[in-house]
Amino acid sequence: MPTRLIGTIPSTFVGLDLETTGLNSGSDRIIEFAAIKFTIGKQNHTSISSLVKPGVPIPRRITTLTGITDKMVEQDGVEIGPAMRDLKEFIGNHMIVAFNAKFDIPFLNSEFSRNGIGKIDNVVDCALLTARKAWPELDSHKLSYLSELLGFDVSGNHRALKDAGLAIKVYLYASCAIHERTKGR
C-alpha cells in the first residue's frame, strides 16, 4: 500500500471509513462504508455511504459497538459488488485518508478482489499514524478521544460517515501540527 509523506496534502482527497463484522479482512465482511471527497477551501463536500449486506450474521459485539443490526442491513443494505464498484469509482485516483489505514485498506482490497474489481493502488495516508506523529505525548490516539480533544462532536461515532468526517478533521489538524513544529527546521 503506497503511503504519503507528511508535508503536502493534495487539494482534494477522499476520507474513508468502514464498519465490519470483525477484525479479519480475509473472513469478516464490510457492513457499512462511507467516503467523503474533501476539497480544501470548499464548504460542501460530496460523499457516498451505504449499509451493505454482508452475507454473514453481524456479531452481537459489533451491533453493540455500531448500532448496526442484521435487520438494518437486510432492509436497507445494498449488495456488496455494485456498492464496491460505486465506491471505487467515487474514490477515483484521489489520495485516500483513513483513520486506521492498516485496517480499512485490506478490507477494501479483499472485497474488491472478491468482486473482480482489482485492488487499491491509490496513495493512502493514515490519520492515526499522522496523529501519533503530531501528538506522541498523548495517552490515547483513539479517534473519539482525539476528536473530543480537538473539540469535535463525537455523537454517532462508530458509523462510517461520521467517522470518515472525524478522520478528515483529525488528519488535517495533525498535519498542521506537524507542519508547524517542523517548519523552522
Active-site residue, 158 included: yes
Q: Residues 45, 141, 158, 179: which is the catalytic one?
A: 158
- 107-112 contact pairs (CB < 8 A, 24+): 107/18, 107/20, 107/25, 107/28, 107/30, 108/16, 108/18, 108/30, 108/84, 109/25, 110/25, 110/26, 111/29, 111/30, 111/80, 111/84, 112/84, 112/88
Residues with catalytic roles: 158
